[in-house]
Chain A
Amino acid sequence: MAVLRKIMQTTRRDFLGLAGGAAVAGAVPIVTLRPLEATPETLNAAIRNVVGEAAVRSGKVKLDIPPLVENGNTVPMTVSVASPMTADDYVKSIHVFNEKNPQPNIANFYLGPSAGRAQVATRIRLADSQKVVAIARLSDDSFWSVSTDVIVTLAACTEEVN
Chain B
Amino acid sequence: MSFARAITAAMAALLVAAPSLLAGEIPPDERRSGYTFMGPDTRAMQDDDTSNPGMLFVLDGETLWKQKLGAAGKACADCHGDARESMKGVAAHYPAFDKALGRPVTLDQRINLERTQRQQAAPLAYESHDLLALSAYIANQSRGIAITAGDDPELKPFVEKGRELFMQREGQLNLACANCHNDNFDKHLAGSPITQGQPTGYPEYRLEWQTLGSLERRLRSCMTGVRAQAYDYGSPEMVALELYLMSRAHGMTMETPAVRP
Contacts and interface: CB of A to CB of B under 8 A. Distances in A.
A101 B11 CA distance: 59
B208 A160 contact: no
A45 to B, nearest CB: 29
Interface of A: 66, 68, 70-71, 73-74, 76, 153-160, 162
Interface string B215-231: 00100111011000000
Contact of B222 (A66, A76, A157): A157
A73 B127 contact: no
Interface of B: 38-39, 41-42, 44-45, 127, 189-192, 207-208, 210, 217, 220-222, 224-225, 261
A159 B221 contact: yes
Contact of B225 (A76, A154, A157): A157
Given A71-B261, A73-B208, A74-B207, A154 B190 contact: yes
A154 B191 contact: yes
Contacts of A157: 221-222, 224-225
B224 A160 contact: yes
Contact of A159 (B38, B191, B220, B261): B220
B210 A74 contact: yes
B12 to A, nearest CB: 42
Nearest to A64: B41
B214 to A, nearest CB: 10
